Each structure stands twice: as C-alpha cells, then as structure tokens.
Amino acid sequence: MTANEIRQAFLDFFASKGHQIVPSAPIVVKNDPTLMFTNAGMNQFKDLFLGEAPIKYPRVADTQRCLRVSGKHNDLEEVGIDTYHHTMFEMLGNWSFGDYFKKEAITWSWELLTDVLKLDKERLYVTVFEGDEKEGLPMDQDAYNFWKAFVPESRILKGNKKDNFWEMGDTGPCGPCSEIHFDNRSDQERAKIDGATLVNADDPQVIEIWNNVFMEFNRLKDGSLKKLPAQHVDTGMGFERLVRVIQGKTSNYDSDVFTPIINFIAESSGIPYNADATPADKDWNQAVAMRVMADHIRAIAFAIADGQLPSNNKAGYVIRRILRRAVRYAYQYLGFKDPFLNNLVPLLAEQFRGVFDELISQKDFVQKVILEEENSFLRTLENGINRFERYIQENKKGKIDGTFAFELYDTYGFPIDLTELMAREQNLAVDMEGFNAELQKQKERSRAATAIDAGDWVTVNEGEEVEFVGYDNVVAKSKILKYRKVKAKGKEQYQLVLDVTPFYAESGGQVGDAGFLIGDSETVGINDTKKENGLIIHFADKLPNDLNAEFSAKVDVVKRTLTENNHSATHLLHAALKTVLGDHVNQKGSLVNEDILRFDFSHFSKVTDAEVAQIEAIVNQKIRENIALKEERNVPYQKALESGVTALFGEKYGDYVRVITFDDNYSKELCGGTHVGATGQIGYFKIVSESAVAAGVRRIEAITALKAEEYINNQSRLLTEIKELLKNPKDLTKSLETLLEENNKLKKEIEKSVLEKATTLKERLKEKAKIVNGIKFIAQEIDLPSPDAIKNLAYQLKDIFDNLFLVLASSIDGKPNLTIMISENLVQERGLDAGKIIRELAKEINGGGGGQPFYATAGGKNPEGLKIALEKAESYLV
C-alpha cells in the first residue's frame, strides 16, 4: 500500500464506524496562549474534553498536522539522526466525546491494524497503565481485560506513569493510555531477544505506532486530579511510523512519505543517498543532511502556508530556526552554496494534493518566502564565518569562549554544532558551559517576559455554554459562571467567564472589546476580552464584591465603533488590493483597533505611489456609496465557498460560517468580527504607510474616521506653517525648489572650502611626520568640521606614506574625537590594531570607540584629554 492509500484506509475505516471525518486544524495555533503550534491531534478538541464547548459530533476522525520542536515535546535534535523522529508529522486520530470508551477503542484498533492493514499479529505488543500509588490511581484493569481478547498476556505489558499516563502539560485533560508497539526486527533478531524487553526502551526497530488515551481527569494547578464531566477517547497514530512498518522498511525515511524528496535532493546535489550509513561511515553526514532537509521542509512549508512567517520572536523564530538548520546542513554537507531548499516546495505540494491543499494553493508564495530566507541566511552564514576567522586570529587560545559561541548563535543564527565543527577544524574546543550559561540567561529573560501564571477556575454558577450577543447588542444582563486569577509581567488580573456577553473577544486581527460590568452597588472595568480554546474570557483588575449578582455587561461603544470603522475598511481595502494588484493578493495578517488598521498581504513588489492612490480612491468611493452591510449567519461552509466568498489560509472554519458582504460584486468574506451598518459610517480612508514585512508580504497601515480627520487637519496645518515660513509664495513648489537649489549650492561651496583646508592640512602634516622604531608616526590635533572630512584626510595620508601610524585629534561641535589610521603591513607584521588602541586612548576623553585593525574612531566628553591621548599614542610604537 502507498502512503496515500494507508491514510485513506484509516479514514474510511472510522467513517464506517460512525465517525465524522474532519479536516486538520492549522499547524499554527490561535486563541490558545499555552501553545504556539499544534503538537498533538487533541489540541483542537481541548475545549470539548473540558466541557467548555458544545459537542457537535460525538465521534470524530482525522489526520492532523503536528509540529514538535520545543518545550515538553522537543524532537528537533533527533531529527535526521534516528529513523523515526520528525518536526512536522501527521497524527491519525479517532475521538469519542462522551460516547464510546475503552472497549470499542481497543477492539477497533486491533481490527484496523490486523484485519484491514494486515499487520503481523505476532509482532504487536500493547501496554496498559500499571497504576500509581502516590496519585491514588489503580491499574487500568479494564484495558488489560479488553486486550486479553486479542493479545496473549505475555505481550500485554504494564507501564508506569511516564509511559502510560498521558498529560498534555502541567495542567489540563489527562488519563491512562494504552500504547500499541510494533516489532520490526528480523526473525533472527526476534528469536534472540524477546520483543517485550525492548518496548519503550528506545530500540529503533521496536516502536510505538498508536496510543489510545482514555481521558478521565483534569490536572489542576495544585497538581491534583479532578474527574472530567464525561469520559473521552483520544487516540493518536504516527502516520509516518505506520507507513514504514506496513511497507516493511526499517526507517521512516525509506517509505514513500520521504523518498521522493530525498531522491530529488540526492540527484540535485550529485551525492548518492546511503540509507544504511552509520556514524562511522564517511557519507553519514550527507545522509543525515538529506533526511533533515526532507523533514524540515514539511514543517517550514506548512507553517508558512498556515500563516506563520519566519521572524525573530516566538513562533516565527521557531520556523526560522528550523529553516536555518536545514540550510546549514545543505551548505555544509551537500555543497549547496546557493538557495536550494525552496525548490522542494513544488514537489511537496504535489505530494499532499488532495490531502492538505493549503500548500498547493499557496505554492508560489511559500517558495518565495523560503527563497528570501535562504538568501538572507546564506549572507549571514558567510558573515558569521568571517567573524569566526577574525576571532581565531585575534584570540590565541585553546578554546572558543562560550560568550563568543553564543554571539554566533544569537547574532548570526549559527547552530552551536556548526561552531563546534569549525572549532574542531582549528583544533579548538568550544566552552559549552559558558555557551549554555548564556543560552539559559536568554531563556530566562524570554520566559520572564512571556510567563503567565494562571490559577484554577473557580465555579460561581453552573453552566457550560457562553452566549455571545455582541453582533446585535452592546449591553446584556449577565452572570459570572467562573473566574481565575492570572499573573503576567508582575501584574495580577482576573479572568471572568459570563453566561451572556456582548463583548467581542480578540480574533481575526480585531482587538477585544473593553467596557464595564455594572451591578447595583459597584462597577468593575473590563480591560480586554480574549478567546481561549473557544471560551470568551473577560479581563478585569479586580473581582466584583458580589460574585453571584446579576450585572449589566456594557461595551465601550466609542472604542467598538472606531474599531468597526477600521475593520470594515480592511474588507474594502482587501477587495481594492485584488482589483488593483491582482487576484494573487491574499491576507497574511491584520490588526484592527480603535486607532489604526494594519493589513498584511501577499505581493512580490513594492506598491507604487500611483497604485496606492488608486487603492485609496476605490475604498473612498465605496465609503461614499454608503453600502449597507449584508450579514449572513450560520451559512454552510461549502455553500459559502461556492458563492465566491474570500476565506483566509490558516484559519480553522467550522461547518457553518458567517459571511460579511459589502456589495455582492465587490467584497464578500468569511469573518467573525463586528462591522459598521453601512460603509458611510467609516467617513474617510487614508493610507499612511506601505512597507515590506517579509519576503512576498507587504503591509499597509491606514486610518479612518476621526484619526483620518486629525491627519488631514495636521497636514493642512503643516502646509500653512511652511507657507508662512516662505512668506506665502504664490507657487509653493517652485519656492521650495529654489530653496533646495540654494542649499545645495552652499553645501558645495562649503565642501570645496573644507577640501582646500584638508589639502593645506595634509601638506602641514607631511612635515610633522617622524620616524619611531622604523614607523612613520604622526599625532596632531586638527581643525576640520566633520568626521567624513577627517576620514578623507587620513586616507590621503595613508596613500602618501608607507609604514604609517597616524593619530588625529579634533573637536567637533565641542565634542572630542580621535581617529587612528595604520598601514596594513604594520597590522600584519607588528600586530598593531587600531580598534584596540583607540579603545585605550578614548579613556582619556571619557569616551569609547572601535573599528577595524587598520582604521578606528572614538568620541568622548572631555576635550581636555585630547592632548594626553596624542602623547600616549607614541607609547604603542616603543
């Protein structure tokens, strides 16, 4: 069976068992502050396990894109080295939300694996939870008994809490689990060693392929376990591992999930792929490099397709790190000195056609982003290597300092193993203790900046569902269902969940509402509203005194209205961009608040001034037409798509969606945000900036309504002031042109004067040169008006003299400056270094500086020290 046939067999099997087949959630997580990426199949169903959302389908099956590179589930360093770890992987899963439980899950697992997929029953082992006395948890006897119907007791193994009690994190849904392992060894190996002894022992050929988790508990903040409202089944089967064992391979990378890409890399590099290479073989690094690239391109491409661009922080940094790791392997071991990774995108997109079409529809965009990232890192890689070589020349030590290794890692994006390799080539070691200390400091800074300490939810009133009425009302009668205390960045706040709320929760780029909870005797401010796993959460600085009271939940109408102006304007802008630039334009991110709208979109060149003007004109025309909002709720998703609606990549849409239309022939989008009743309310739309965000992504920032009016008034006021300064000329443009011409003429005259002065100085300094220890030494205070003029003079003197050691002192606008120029031969032969010397001399003027070994400058605060610095300079030649 091919990989595609195996995946389909799984989905068809569970469809026959009454499961609804649902699409994969995006790999990039939104509305869950505890996760950056989907790292398990259960992530998108977390709110169902906790009873915080209604259950639409009691039985569900899917294949979910997952990413594991950081935190508790960190597989990055094993990727490419072993046979079965990956960054992105598919998790086949079947789910029961309060429906069937252990018996059915176990029975169907066995039926699928042995009857449908024809795995050898004698090679299958299963594990069950042995219990934990400290937790007060008994052995999972039910699972054990159900497995006895299919598997001999010698192959039913008891596992401890580490292996057989699944938890998604420090808190949250959890429960005992039952794993299924496959012994992929040869018959001869199996005859020598019992496979039962190798289960969960990190044997690369005795591997877990499926895990049936029986969700029964919720782990609270204090570590205790609380029974969930209902029992659930959460299963996850590693697709890549399953394909491997069905296809009779000993490595995931040898299955047809990876071979097309690995073969393409091998052909392109001209280096054969040796699947059997070991660390002792000379082609081991090349084999690892090909596996790393084949794996990493999947994580990179799908993350970008799902809306996460590479960047220097949070989720974007994770993607950039994976990408650079792949580029480094390609550069170092396969000889790809030019961008190559991006060439794998079309092949990957075709491989997933009909499975994850998000990639095929954005193939060109994803490839362009990766290409630009490769170009950037390859330049950085070269700069970093040069920096490393300078460090080796300047520091004659037997070890690379940990702080320097961290500089390469942090500034140049060098993985530490690349630094270690380069050090070994110089017969040097890296101070890993120092490096890890610096890395730990960075992690602690990052953790402190982002850490959120959340307490357990405290129930006030019973109720599971939150009714959102904010599309129709800005005031509602509400009761508090539950609350919890949270602490972030040293500030304590409370999160409240209401039974009925008019507050819009931050989503889709639109910021959350603010407002008030008004009771009979008190008013509590709501600062923000966010969504977490589908739950609407209101942020307040304090709790109401009477938690059981009925409140009037009231939205800040001014903020909401201004935000709606900007949000509706983004829809008009999106349509205008498609009209002017082309249908390739797609939204890649947005921010909408009461002050500004920011819209990121796919486009591969700068939007010209003429195009900006045209876009602006179209949007303002639509505003003047005062087009009434057409809002359609609970539209079947497929019907909405067929109507030509614009849907955003990376968003998880349900079976029923909300459609926002401003003119059926102009703007029609899927959107959950709040909007104006008619476009005339927006008033006026003004683009204030257009810029690049990343490769293939541009950003427009614009303002509307009051902010646009303020902007126009400020521009008009500025224009009036300029006219007054120029004595109210009839032709302002001509007057400014004349002023600029006069200014340029004066600049040229000054430059000519400075040049003449520098020439005179050069002749005078030539006469001041003296020989010190075989070196032509000049140390003088001069009077020139700019650092550029001094630099030009220094280079002129360098061209005249061999063996030159030049020190110039000057005072520019009352501030002391030092300049050192040293002939290159003195740098090489005498070990003189202008950068080091200038730092010492700068102390005399209470300043600092630096530069290259042959040229350096410094500035300071004490002009009186210039004379001492000049006298001290000669000491470096003795």
> 186-196, pLDDT tens digit by residue?
999 999 999 99
Average model confidence (pLDDT) for the chain? 90
Output the CA–CA distances (angstroms, integers) from residue 170 to 69, 167, 218, 510, 649, in the order listed. Answer: 18, 7, 10, 30, 31
Q: What is the pLDDT of residue 77?
A: 66
What lies within 8 Å, CB to CB, of 389 at 6+ separation is: none
Reported as a pLDDT band with limits 50, 70 and 90, residue 445 is low
Stronger pLDDT, 604 or 574, i.e. the higher one? 574
| pLDDT higher than 50, residue 841 | yes
- Which residue in 75, 423, 448 sits closest to 432, CA to CA? 423
The encoded tokens of residue 470 equal 């904010």
Answer left, alpha or beta for residue 202, where phi above 0 means left and psi between -120 and 50 means alpha: left
Say what the pLDDT of residue 222 is.
Answer: 86
Lowest-confidence region among 98-102, 126-130, 397-401, 403-407: 397-401
Q: What is the mean pLDDT of residues 317-340?
A: 89
Which comes out higher in pLDDT, residue 485 or 39? 485
Least confidently predicted of 182-196, 575-589, 779-793: 779-793
Residue-level pLDDT at 72: 45
Query: Inter-axis angle of helices 259-269 and 284-305, to 10 degrees?
Result: 120
CA distance readout (Å), 416 to 59, 427, 432, 436, 700: 46, 16, 9, 10, 38
Q: Is the pLDDT of residue 453 over 80?
A: no
Kindly indicate the confidence band of residue 446, based on its pLDDT and cuts at 50, 70 and 90: low
Give pLDDT tens digits for 60-101: 999 999 888 754 445 566 787 888 889 999 999 999 998 999
pLDDT tens for each residue of 107-141: 999 999 999 999 999 999 999 999 999 999 999 99
Band of pLDDT at residue 34, cut at 50, 70 and 90: low
Task: Please check the confidence at residue 779 and state whether its pLDDT lies above 80.
Answer: yes
**The pLDDT of residue 75:** 57
% of the chain with per-residue pLDDT over 70? 96
| pTM to 2 decimal places | 0.71
Q: How many residues does the chain have?
A: 878
Whole-Å CA distances, 480 to 193, 538, 545, 593, 798: 61, 10, 12, 27, 78
In this structure, what token pair is assigned to residue 440?
């730990």
Residue of higher predicted confidence among 141 and 439: 141
When pLDDT is averaged across residues 18-29 and rounded to a whole number, the result is 89
Q: What share of the chain is helix, strand, coil (3-state, %, to 5)?
A: 45, 25, 30
Give Cβ neighbours of residue 641 (< 8 Å, ≥ 6 apart): 647
Question: What is the spatial distance between Cα 112 and Cα 180, in angstroms, rounded to a whole number?
Answer: 12
Choice between 301 and 385, residue whose per-residue pLDDT is larger:
301
Q: Write the secondary structure of 692-753 as one string of H (helix), E (strand) and C (coil).
A: EEECCEEEEEEEEHHHHHHHHHHHHHHHHHHHHHCCCCCCHHHHHHHHHHHHHHHHHHHHHH
pLDDT greater than 60 at residue 448: no
Of the pLDDT bands very low, low, confident and very high (cuts 50, 70, 90), residue 33 is low
Beta bridge partners of 859: 817, 848
Res 846 pLDDT > 60: yes
Per-residue buried b or exposed e for 94-110, using 16+ beta carbons within 10 Å of the residue's own CB: bbbbbbbbbebbbbbbb
Distances (CA, A) of 875 to 512, 779, 805, 837, 838: 66, 12, 12, 11, 13
Amino acid 71: pLDDT: 46
702 vs 358, more confident: 702
Lowest mean pLDDT among 97-101, 141-145, 306-310, 821-825: 306-310
Taking only the tens place, the pLDDT of each residue in 637-661 is 889 888 888 887 656 777 889 999 9
Of the candidates 33, 24, 14, the one whose C-alpha atom is nearest the C-alpha of residue 452 is 33
Grade residue 450 by pLDDT with cuts at 50, 70 and 90. Answer: low
Instruction: Examine the pLDDT at 616 and tell me if it is beyond 70.
Output: yes
Alpha helices in 769-814 (DSSP H): 787-800
The confidence score (pLDDT) of residue 73 equals: 45
Q: What is the number of H-type helices and E-type strands within the chain?
A: 25, 37
Check pLDDT > 90 for residue 570: yes
Going by pLDDT thresholds of 50, 70 and 90, the confidence category of residue 419 is confident
User: What is the Cα–Cα distance from 448 to 529, expressed in whole angstroms?
Assistant: 23
Which runs of E-coded beta strand occur in 162-262? 165-167, 172-183, 206-219, 225-238
Distances (CA, A) of 405 to 7, 323, 429, 790: 44, 20, 11, 36
Match 């959890």 to its residue by tokens: 174
Which pLDDT belongs to residue 314? 77
Query: What is the pLDDT, as a whole number, of residue 561?
Result: 96
Look up residue 663 and give its two tokens: 């003119």
Any idea what DSSP says for residue 682?
G
- Among all chains, which residue has been given the structure tokens 């060693």? 193
